[in-house]
Amino acid sequence: MAARRTRRKTTRRRKPQGINILNAAQSYVVASAATKAMFGVELVPFLTEGWLTQKTAATDNSWELSLSELFNRTIQGGTGSMSASWSQKGIPGAIKHNLQANTGAVATMLLAPVGFTVAKKLTSKPRRDANKLLKMAGLSSVVKV
């Protein structure tokens, strides 16, 4: 049998990548702006109100929706403490109202990725140095800057 002409390819081994802090921050900003634009509240209150925390008087607005309210209204079909105008328009009407009222959040959704891209380019050298320090400390598999 003839000898093999090419070397056997080795499988590429990849080191586990850490969580990129800037990408996580960008994702949080965009998701928070999206929930503000559509549901009238930031991301954390949207996820936690009704399950982990109670609605406070400051956040008890008939147009503000939390995830628990969406589940309760779609599954149970009730309107709860909502006003008559809300119950006529329903969830799509509330989302439409919030999109019209929170145009700044829509602009944030569009401009945040551009801002983060510019910030990443401007801070590339200090971030590279910080990542080298993290690698020397043995934390590069956990977190990146």
In a domain, 4, yes or no: no
What would the pLDDT profile of 63-121 be if each residue is shown by its tens digit?
A: 888 888 888 877 766 555 454 555 567 788 888 999 999 999 999 999 999 999 999 99
pLDDT at 104: 94
In a domain, 6, yes or no: no
Q: Is the pLDDT of residue 138 over 60?
A: yes
In a domain, 112, yes or no: yes
Looking at the structure of the chain, the number of domains it has is 1
Which stretches of 1-145 are DSSP H helices? 21-39, 43-48, 67-76, 84-101, 103-122, 124-136
Entry pTM: 0.76
In a domain, 12, yes or no: no
pLDDT at 44: 92
In a domain, 105, yes or no: yes
Domain limits at 94? Answer: 19-52+61-144
Residue length of the chain: 145
In a domain, 34, yes or no: yes
In a domain, 14, yes or no: no
What beta strand segments (E) does 81-142 contain?
none
